[in-house]
Every structure is written in C-alpha cells, then in structure tokens.
Structure 1
Amino acid sequence: MARLCRAELIDPDQITLVHVVNRTVRRCFLFGDDPVSGKNFDHRKVWIEERLERFAGCFGIDLLCFAILSNHYHLILRSRPDVVATWDDTEVARRWLMICPPTRKKGQSADPTEAELDSIRRCPVRLAEVRRRLSSISWWMRLLNQNIAQRANREDEQSGRFWQDRYRATRLDDEESLLACAAYVDLNPIRAGLAETVEASDHTSVQRRLESRFDVRPTSVACCRGPRTSSAARRDAFLAKLTIEKSDAVGAAPAENGRRCSDKGFLSLSEDAYLELLDWTARQIAPGKRGSTPMRLPPILKRLGLEQSSWCELVADFDRCFYLVAGRCDRVQSVRSHHTGRRFRVRPLARRLLPAAA
C-alpha cells in the first residue's frame, strides 16, 4: 500500500494534534550507548532538547510532550495557524529568520537586520509562504531532523542518511487518544528500561514539568524574544500548559512568556492528577516495579470510561493500536482525508480497546 500524503492527514489551516516519531538509521543507538562503537552519544539528546526549546519559542506550534531515547524520539505537537494569524508581517519575518538565520560573520549580532526583514515582509508571495511554514509540522520536523543529522555526521566525519525514514505521524482526534498518547510518550524511558520512575526519566517533558515544581533555574537556550527574566526561566516554560483552565482566554491566546506558542492547555485534568496517573500506569506495565494496583481507578479513567486493563494495554501498545489517526472507532471512521476523501483504517486492537462511544 502506497504511503498516504501528509496533506491527506493534516489540514494546514486547522489546529491539529499530531504524535510524531522518528528513528535513526538501522535503529542504531546514535543517541545513547552504541554497542558497536562503544561510544556514548547522550549529548545528542541535549542537542534535540535545545532545538525543541528554540523551535517552541519561534514556530506557531505548541510542544505538548517529548521523549528522547537512544535510537528514536517522540513528540506531540499542536499546530496553531490561528496564533500565526495574530502576528504582523514583521513578527512573521523575524521569527522565520530566528529559525533559519542568515550567515553571520564572527562577532555580528544574531538579530535580523531591517534589510533581511524587508526581504520577507515586502514580498507578498514569500511572506505568505513563510506564514504557512511557521505553523507547519512538516517544516518543524524537516528543520529539526536536518540540523541533528548534519551535526551528528559532522561529529562522526560521516556522510549519508542519519534517519531511517521520513517521520511517522498519527493524528490525535479526541481526548482519550491524546491522554493515552501523552502517557505513552512520557513513560517511554520506563518501558525501554532506561529509568525506573517518572522523575528519573531523563530527556522527557514530564521530567521538565517535575523539575519546575521544585526548582526554577535559567537555561542557555536563546528564544525568539531575547533575554528571559527570572520569572520566565522555568524548566518547562517552553512546553504547552498541561491543564485546560476555566479561565483560559477564548481564541488564539498567544504566549506571554515568549518561550512557547500559546498559553492554552491540552488536558482537562490537573497536573497532579496526570502525574498520579503516570505513576500508577508505570507500576502496571514496568517489570520489577514496587507498589500494588490501587483499590480504585483514578477519577480520570472513570470519567473517560476506560477499563483498567484496557488503559494499561492502550498506553503500552499505543504505536500498535493506531496508524494515521488515533481516537475512538466512531471518531476515526467519521473523518476523511482532506483531498481524496479516503477513510482511515481502524486497527482491530484499537477497536477492542477504544470502542465507539456509548
């Protein structure tokens, strides 16, 4: 079966939630301990985190969750063309030039010059294209993968492909699939045997959120709006807010801290409830973990109508449950691809674990 065009899955004019994953060539451990060369490449995980933080402050895309492992990484992204629409021409040009800066001589300022800004804002065709790119998940992934591949090949004095294939994308169409996918991403290091607890899961979004609960410290990654104040230096300030608050502004709600796209949350549960859910789920699927099954399920599971065993299996095997679109069966069957109107296939495992809503 031929690969489906990305345009069939993601409408560039609509807010879209997508889980993306990309693997290194031949699944070699090019981000961790490589058993073939005996080298350790953990520093490349830092490269990706730094790039994610920079992109989160420049693109019109919310970064919801991430996990970086030894041979692949996971992201949950939310495109925000509505936020990009609130930016004037100068802001659009400036953000793009911060993402793809022109060549600079040593000692020159990194800030775009007026002439460089004019090259975009005074050309309607170029300006429209850049505006589309700023909320494009494909451009986010293209520039991220290109940068990491070039740095790694330069470090290894190699050439050729670094990534196995184009990234895999799964659209998330309802709250159940988003919650399960977020847990799947944040628990990946535990499932892979790289950590025993959520707080020890390095290079994950949940670890950043936990660190920010107890410690506020500056980082060295520059964002699009220049120097940060101490109040904006939270370790998770570039991540989307986890909880959808009742007081959240209606509309685009561009971020006030300049380190992320918007200030909108993405889950209708508190951060404490989400962390408790992660810890409970990790105990069910991680071999050798201490603790026992709780006497009753967390409230969020009851609210969503998910059985205990189904929830654990859904989080453990999220990548086997869904292919292009994730959600309850009736939701997936009701959507169509944007250009050809094709139906999206529902896998048997997804039918069993997430049946149609009653």
Structure 2
Amino acid sequence: MAHARKKLVSVVATPSYHVVSRCVRRTFLFGCFENKDFSHRRQLIVERLSELAKVFCITISAFAIMSNHYHLVVRIQRQQAIDLDVYDVIRRWNALFRLPVLVERFSNDTPISAAETAAVNKIIETWRSRLYDLSWFMRCLNEHIARIANAEDQCTGRFWEGRFKSQALLDETAELQAMAYVDLNPIRADMAASPEESDYTSIQLRMSKDNNSPMKNLLRPFAGDSHQDNNSNDIPYNLIEYIQLVDWSGRQIHPKKRGVIAANLPPIFTRLNMQHHIWLQNCLSLESTYHRVIGPAARMQEFCALMQQKWLLGIPAAREAFG
C-alpha cells in the first residue's frame, strides 16, 4: 500500500535517503529500445543533477544512471536552507522558476507596502522549505527529463513508472552501504567490469583525473579518516578507502571479472563494525532486504514510531548487520 511521502521522509529522523526512479514499464528509455539508442539521456540526468545541486540544499552522495532507472543517495541540508538570506532564496528559486511580479519588485528594492512585504515574506518562506524538500527536488529532476524525452519521441503520457521510491538511511554505516550498493549497480547488471568503467556513476566521477570537471561539484565530498574531528556535512571517511571498499566488494560479487581477490578486508570494516559476508549480501539486495528504512534495528523502530508506521521490513536483517 502506498504511503504519503511525509510518512516516508523526515529530516527529524534522518537527513539521508536512497532514492530510485524507474521508467514506465521499466523499458530501456535510457538505453537501447525498439532499435533506438537513448543512452544520451543518461548524461541529461547527470547535467540536471548538477544544476539542481546549485539550487537545492540537498547534496548527492552517490548516483548511478542505468538503462531503465536511476539511483541516488542524497543528504538533506535543512540548516543550510534555514541560514539562507531572503535574496539568496529568491536567486535560487529564480534559477528554476519565474518570479511573481511582486517578488521581482521586492528583489529590485522597489518600494512596496507593509502588506505586500508580508505577502512576499510568506512566499519566500514557502520557497525556503521547498529548497530542502526531497519531493520538490525529485519533481524538478523527473519532470524536466520527462519533458525532454517526450519531445524527442514526439509523444505524450507518462515517462516514469510512478513516484520515486525512497529508503531512509539512519546512520553513517547505512549511508555508506547504500552508496556502495548504488556504485556497484552497473557491475551487478554486467554493464561494466570495474568501478572505473562504470559509466554515469558517482564512483567513476570520483575516480576521474579531471579535477576541473563541473560535474564533480555535484558530489558530497569525503572529509577524510573517521577519527578526525568533522563538524561539517561531508562524508566522514576517506575517499581512497571508499574506492578500495567498492573495488573489493565488486571483486567478491564478480570474482571472475577482476582477477585475484584481495586477501585482506579493507580497514574500514573495523570502524563500520560489520562482517564482510553481511556487507556483500547488502550490496546484492539492499532494496529488497530493507524496503523503506536502512540502519540499526533500534533506530528503525524509533523511525517506525516517529512516522506512525506499525512495521518495517528488514528489522531482523538489521539486527545481524548493524548490531
């Protein structure tokens, strides 16, 4: 049964989410379908994500654009949106939408009445709340892609299967697991033999030697080793270790594709407090195992109570995986 989005996404419960959106009937509308090649649309999604990252207070931790769907791991930066001044809110919103005449007059410092000022402030606060709203972020992404695709195909109707699916990520381990799951999607689907060959993924973008690529700015950065003090919203691990972790996981999933399997587990497992066989199982079936929420069992139950849900799939698996 479908749930209202407000019962699935709560910044109070967690700012991090794994998001999936699929093409209608899961047709390959980003790949080859009916003797037509639509793979260029995968680049359109990456470019649109780069645009939205400059507008919304939502950062991308990982992404993978497949042939009939895409994955995102996002982090909602609510405090960043709250700290924006009114002119910054207007500027960001105007990057995507036309401004009402009254707001234009306000932004140009044209004198307006007290009642008009109150009306403008109310509009701006509505926009501010939307800048950290996951549903608005996905709307601006999916509607944009659907319009372009329908214009190319000279057709109308639904392009996406339905509304996006989301999974709440309740702690850093759950978030890192979801990132690896997303980055390994092309390898599991036999679309690539290695992370660096996985086109349209965050892992390939992070490994790119082109540090001047504007696309790199859309990704949430790694802060460094987890023992360092980190008060920012960066990912509290080391990028090199994460790449090694994804590479090791890919070798286990497809050992024949990558040669010799590393004998030792990456050091990051010690800090994650997770056994390697559980990590690999999650890399294979994160969506089906946990459904809407991923993280420690106790946190999942707290999330359940907060969102007024009776039960969440995956609590037994969470007890084994996260303690």
**Common fold by TM > 0.5:** yes
Residue in 2 that maps onto 1:336: 304
Q: In structure 2, do the counterparts of structure 1 residues 19 and 323 end up closer, same or farther at CA, with 3 Å as the change threshold?
A: same
CA distance in 2, matches of 1:78, 1:138: 13
CA contact (8 A) 2:87 2:107 kept: yes
Residue in 2 that maps onto 1:265: 234
Q: Does 1:216 align with 2:211?
A: yes
Residue in 2 that maps onto 1:115: 105
Question: What SS is found at the alignment partner of 2:195?
Answer: coil
Pick the aligned partner of 1:154 from 151, 158, 162: 151
CA contact (8 A) 2:183 2:201 kept: yes
CA distance in 1, matches of 2:77, 2:70: 22
Across the aligned residues of Structure 1 and Structure 2, the Cα RMSD in angstroms comes to 2.4
| Equivalent residue letter for 2:24 | V
Q: In structure 2, do the counterparts of structure 1 residues 120 and 162 end up closer, same or farther at CA, with 3 Å as the change threshold?
A: farther
Residue in 2 that maps onto 1:223: none
- For 1:303-354, what per-residue CA distance to the aligned partner results, in whole angstroms no more than 9, with x for missing partners? 2222222111111111111111111222212323545x32441327724742
| Equivalent residue letter for 1:4 | H
Question: What SS is found at the alignment partner of 1:179?
Answer: helix
Question: What SS is found at the alignment partner of 1:85?
Answer: helix
Residue in 2 that maps onto 1:278: 246
CA contact (8 A) 2:295 2:318 kept: no
Q: In structure 2, do the counterparts of structure 1 residues 174 and 116 end up closer, same or farther at CA, with 3 Å as the change threshold?
A: same
CA contact (8 A) 1:9 1:337 kept: no
Q: Any unmatched runs of 5+ in structure 2?
A: 109-115
Q: In structure 2, do the counterparts of structure 1 residues 88 and 311 end up closer, same or farther at CA, with 3 Å as the change threshold?
A: same
Q: Does 1:181 align with 2:182?
A: no
Q: Map 1:18-29 to 2 at 5 A.
A: 18-29=17-28
Residue in 2 that maps onto 1:230: none
| Equivalent residue letter for 2:234 | G
Residue in 2 that maps onto 1:130: 127
CA contact (8 A) 2:193 2:258 kept: no
Q: In structure 2, do the counterparts of structure 1 residues 171 and 315 end up closer, same or farther at CA, with 3 Å as the change threshold?
A: same
CA distance in 2, matches of 1:116, 1:161: 38
Question: What SS is found at the alignment partner of 2:46?
Answer: helix
Residue in 2 that maps onto 1:294: 262
Would you say how many aligned residue pairs link Structure 1 and Structure 2? 312
TM value normalised by structure 2: 0.89
Residue in 2 that maps onto 1:324: 292
Q: Any unmatched runs of 5+ in structure 1?
A: 104-112, 219-232, 254-263
**CA deviation after TM superposition for structure 1 residue 216, in Å:** 3.1
CA distance in 1, matches of 2:180, 2:98: 35
Residue in 2 that maps onto 1:229: none
CA distance in 2, matches of 1:120, 1:93: 14
**CA deviation after TM superposition for structure 1 residue 92, in Å:** 0.2
CA contact (8 A) 2:251 2:257 kept: yes
CA distance in 2, matches of 1:156, 1:181: 33
Task: Compare the two structures and name the one with the higher helix fraction.
Answer: 2
**CA deviation after TM superposition for structure 1 residue 158, in Å:** 0.6
TM value normalised by structure 1: 0.80
- For 1:30-73, what per-residue CA distance to the aligned partner results, in whole angstroms no more than 9, with x for missing partners? 00111xx1111111011101100000111111111111000000
CA contact (8 A) 1:12 1:136 kept: no
Residue in 2 that maps onto 1:49: 46
CA contact (8 A) 1:9 1:338 kept: no
Residue in 2 that maps onto 1:192: 189
Question: What SS is found at the alignment partner of 1:297?
Answer: coil
CA contact (8 A) 2:222 2:238 kept: yes
CA contact (8 A) 2:19 2:167 kept: yes
Q: In structure 2, do the counterparts of structure 1 residues 236 and 66 end up closer, same or farther at CA, with 3 Å as the change threshold?
A: same
CA contact (8 A) 1:325 1:344 kept: no
CA distance in 2, matches of 1:179, 1:120: 44
CA contact (8 A) 2:14 2:168 kept: no
| Equivalent residue letter for 2:50 | E
Q: In structure 2, do the counterparts of structure 1 residues 171 and 25 end up closer, same or farther at CA, with 3 Å as the change threshold?
A: same
Q: In structure 2, do the counterparts of structure 1 residues 288 and 178 end up closer, same or farther at CA, with 3 Å as the change threshold?
A: same
Residue in 2 that maps onto 1:242: 222
Question: What SS is found at the alignment partner of 1:100?
Answer: coil
